[in-house]
Amino acid sequence: MKLIYSAQPVKIPEELLTSTLDLTWTSYNGASHYVLDLRVVNSTTIAPVVVMQSPPSTQRLIQGLRPGHVYQVTLKVFEYVTVVCTDTEIAITVPAVSQITFSQAISSTSIKFQWSSVIGADSYILYVDELFSFPVKKFNQTFTTLYGQMDGLTPATTYNCYVYSSNSAGNGAKMLQPPTGVNVVSTGKSTARVTWNPVAKVLVYQVTVTDNDEPSNMPVIRNTSSTSMDINNLEPCSNYTVGVASFNMFLMPGEPSNVLHSTSTINPVSTVSVDYSCSGGMVTVTWDLVFGANMYRATAVDGTGASLSCTSSSTSCQVTMLKCGEKYQVYVTAISDDCESTSNTTALFETVPCAPANTNIRHDCSSNVIVFEWEHTNNTLYYEAKAVDNTGEVTECRTVDNQCYFTDTGCGQYYKYSVYAVSTGCNSEVSQPEFVRTSPCLPTNVQTATQCNSDMLITTCAVTGVPCGVDLSVWIVASNDNCSTDRVLGEVAQTVPCTPSNVLVSVECSLDSAKVNWTTSIDAWFYIATAEDTSGNSYSCNSMGTNCLIEGLRCGQNYTATVMGTNLKCNSSKSHVVTFRTAPCSPTNIEAFRDCAANHALIVWQNHQPTGLYTAIMEDQSGAQLTCTSNTVNNCKITSLPCGKKYNVSVTYDDGNCPSTSPKISLDSGIALKEKVISMHLFTRPPS
């Protein structure tokens, strides 16, 4: 089976071939029917054409196709509902109809032509036939452009001219010339008459009326065999396009001759003036009266196309709610019962500038120069910027630029900046304020003080963790959120003396004194050593060296000792605590009893301690000694005592560290038994 197509079938009028394909194919045995599917190549928006053909016919003329388009033609062979064979061919339809749109005799033997472009045409064939000649003289020439010239014609001769579009499928149809002399005359408020010159061999004309003001309305199309037509139901104050086209013998209309027609209207206003009030934010529009108008509408259009309007039956009205910084164009429309008429005369005005926006502050810390900047505004002559400090002092700047330099700013000030735009008649509103703090002032009268009881240095703030016993250089820098000053040198600061170290206490078995030793500390001029007993009684000594003797202590007492240094302004902290104990107190109230019968002496004492060893000593004049000891009771006996001698009696107590001996008393061995001899009592200094 093979599908064959032709774009120029035999015996088909030429004018119909613009949308026709003649399809033939070979017969298929057993086919119940054939289906032809025609689709425009590379198009999804044009509906396909599908037709069915019953055997035994293997030919079909397909009409209603798009002229000048490439089609994919598919033949499907069906055996009832089953496709048993397919074949596909690519075909092209002849181009659409082209029409001569301009012709002019440029000499006695040449005519210049222009014609319309059509879809699918590769070239155009221009025909010029001489009328009233026999046989007819014909001239033709092929062009690929939309214009051409025919030469070699006979002077003073009438010619019939037409053009064919052409492509590989063949030639398009020939179109008749449109009527000439089309004219439209109003015959009433909503009626008009269209007239035109007759065209040779044309029996029917097509008149089309299109509403230019309402493109969505369908055009009105009427046919007539005469050279005039009355049209009705025209809207007042409207614009129409009226076209007249010629029908050929196959009732195909050609290109129309179009004319414009406007129905009755009223005149527009001739003058428009404006008076803008910036304080009220409105404009007063004034115009002249128009005969027949019973209302007027003034419209103000800004640069973006947005519009505001007001209406009035007199010659003025006010447009309000105008935007700042805009240039408005104002026009006025006169309105009657039937229609409107807008003037070509307009007026222009500018509104007050908007407040400058996007303000910004740039501050240079080193120079304290402040740059205040903003965005440009429309309709502005210049800007007024203002700076106000904490005291209320005002500094102004006038500029045509969008920034101001404020150079004479003070240190440590808090400034408020604002700006407004100045125009011919009015000023804008003031911008949103910007705030800035300038660099701090340099510190002056810087003083320092040492917190004597801590590692803290006081200037304008407390500096902790400073070392002891040093002289410090103090530099002060003032800062805020944005800037810092240069360093300023303050007074030399002296910290507290360092704490003495290596404290030692030496009692050396003294009953009432202790020697305190230490290592010197930095920046201490002299030192104070203090001893404190368990009752809170304090004893002290001082020295410019590294030791001193604390006196007036009580015997047999526990003490804590500390040392601190001083520079006459501050004392150091106390050294670490050292504990010590004075030598034990000597035994007191010594008594001696001689027992001649037993030949021994009983020694008794007081201030007995529960620990330690007591030794009673009797020494004669020759130095010979007799002793007895006790660690439990306050007495002991010396036996084998010779008679007739004088003895010095004393008692020594030894706690294992230091011995202490009581004052001596005398005992005469010749004195009768139980004679109590007390030479003297020696007591240590009572406790203070």
Instruction: At 406, list the tokens.
Output: 């404020």
Q: Is residue 450 very low, low, confident or very high in pLDDT (cuts 50, 70, 90)?
A: low
For residues 197 and 243, state if they share a domain: yes
Q: Tell me the average pLDDT across 649-675.
A: 76
Domain assignment present for residue 444? The answer is no
Q: Tell me the average pLDDT across 120-136.
A: 85
Maximum CA pair distance of the chain?
A: 209
pTM over 0.75: no
What tens digit of pLDDT does each residue of 202-234 get?
A: 889 999 999 988 888 888 999 999 999 999 988
What tens digit of pLDDT does each residue of 177-211 get?
A: 778 899 999 888 789 999 999 988 788 999 999 99
Domain assignment present for residue 177? The answer is no
Residue 107 pLDDT: 92
Phi-psi region of 106 (alpha: psi -120 to 50; beta: other; left: phi over 0): alpha
Among 96-110, 190-204, 466-480, whose mean pLDDT is lowest?
A: 466-480
Looking at the predicted structure, is the pLDDT value of residue 688 above 70? Answer: no
Looking at the predicted structure, is the pLDDT value of residue 459 above 70? Answer: no
Q: How much is the mean pLDDT over the chain?
A: 85
Looking at the predicted structure, is the pLDDT value of residue 672 above 70? Answer: no
For residues 116 and 136, state if they share a domain: yes
Looking at the predicted structure, is the pLDDT value of residue 131 above 80? Answer: no
For residues 576 and 593, state if they share a domain: no
Amino acid type, 643 = C
Instruction: At 153, list the tokens.
Output: 């014609």
Q: Is residue 676 very low, low, confident or very high in pLDDT (cuts 50, 70, 90)?
A: very low
Separation between Cα atoms, residue 466 and residue 487, nearest integer Å: 19
Among 215-219, 308-312, 339-343, 640-644, whose mean pLDDT is lowest?
A: 640-644
> What SS3 class is residue 18?
helix
Q: Is residue 2 very low, low, confident or very high in pLDDT (cuts 50, 70, 90)?
A: low
End of a domain among 408, 437, 466? Answer: 437
Residue 454 pLDDT: 60
Looking at the predicted structure, is the pLDDT value of residue 687 above 50? Answer: no
Separation between Cα atoms, residue 548 and residue 571, nearest integer Å: 18
- Cβ pair 120, 95 in contact under 8 A: yes
Looking at the predicted structure, is the pLDDT value of residue 77 above 80? Answer: yes
Separation between Cα atoms, residue 560 and residue 537, nearest integer Å: 11
Residue 679 pLDDT: 36
Q: What is the DSSP string of 310-379?
A: EEESSSEEEE-SPPTT-EEEEEEEEE-SS-EEEEEEEEEEEPPPPPP-S-EEEEETTTTEEEEE----TT
End of a domain among 262, 283, 303? Answer: 262
Q: Using a pLDDT cut of 70, give the percent of the chain over it.
A: 91
> What SS3 class is residue 307?
strand
Q: Tell me the average pLDDT across 554-577.
A: 90
For residues 646 and 630, state if they share a domain: yes
Q: Tell me the average pLDDT across 625-634.
A: 88
Looking at the predicted structure, is the pLDDT value of residue 485 above 60? Answer: yes
Domain assignment present for residue 477? The answer is yes
Q: Bigger pLDDT: 421 or 463?
A: 421
What tens digit of pLDDT does each residue of 246-293 get?
A: 887 657 677 788 899 988 778 899 999 999 988 888 999 999 999 888
E-strand ranges in 558-639 read 558-566, 578-581, 588-595, 600-606, 613-620, 625-630, 635-639
Separation between Cα atoms, residue 217 and residue 49, nearest integer Å: 30
What tens digit of pLDDT does each residue of 412-426 get?
A: 888 899 999 998 878
Residue 489 pLDDT: 80
Residue 495 pLDDT: 82
- Cβ pair 500, 578 in contact under 8 A: no
Domain assignment present for residue 653? The answer is yes
- Cβ pair 680, 665 in contact under 8 A: yes
Q: Which residues contact 565 (CB under 8 A, 6 or more apart)?
A: 497, 498, 499, 500, 520, 521, 523, 524, 525, 526, 527, 571, 572
For residues 416 and 342, state if they share a domain: no
Q: Cα-Cα-Cα-Cα dihedral of 23, 29, 35, 41, to 10°?
A: -60
What's the burial of 328, exposed, middle or buried (CB within 10 Å: 0-12/13-18/19+)?
buried
Q: Using a pLDDT cut of 90, give the percent of the chain over it.
A: 39
Domain assignment present for residue 681? The answer is no
Amino acid type, 254 = G
Residue 456 pLDDT: 66
Separation between Cα atoms, residue 672 and residue 674, nearest integer Å: 6
What's the burial of 448, exposed, middle or buried (CB within 10 Å: 0-12/13-18/19+)?
middle
Residue 222 pLDDT: 93
Domain assignment present for residue 394? The answer is yes
Strand partners, 477: none
What is the total count of domains within the chain? 8
Instruction: At 524, list the tokens.
Output: 């201490």
For residues 577 and 592, state if they share a domain: no
Q: Tell me the average pLDDT across 49-68.
A: 87
Q: For residue 354, which of 385, 376, 382 has the smallest C-alpha distance?
A: 376
> What SS3 class is residue 19?
helix
Q: How many CB atoms lie within 10 A of CB 36?
A: 19
- Cβ pair 51, 57 in contact under 8 A: no
- The CA distances from residue 325 to 281, 309, 352, in Å, are 11, 18, 6
Q: Tell me the average pLDDT across 67-86.
A: 90
Q: What is the CATH number of the domain that holds 160?
A: 2.60.40.10
Q: Which residue's structure tokens are 């004052």?
A: 663
End of a domain among 224, 241, 262? Answer: 262
Separation between Cα atoms, residue 511 and residue 653, nearest integer Å: 13
> What SS3 class is residue 15?
helix
Q: Bigger pLDDT: 447 or 622?
A: 622
Q: Which residue's structure tokens are 């010779």?
A: 642
Residue 467 pLDDT: 84
Looking at the predicted structure, is the pLDDT value of residue 576 above 80? Answer: yes
Upstream peptide bond of 642 is cis (omega within 30 degrees of 0) = no
Domain assignment present for residue 679? The answer is no
* Domain around 660: 588-668
Domain assignment present for residue 686? The answer is no
Q: Is residue 453 very low, low, confident or very high in pLDDT (cuts 50, 70, 90)?
A: low
For residues 342 and 290, state if they share a domain: yes
For residues 458 and 508, state if they share a domain: no
Looking at the predicted structure, is the pLDDT value of residue 297 above 60? Answer: yes
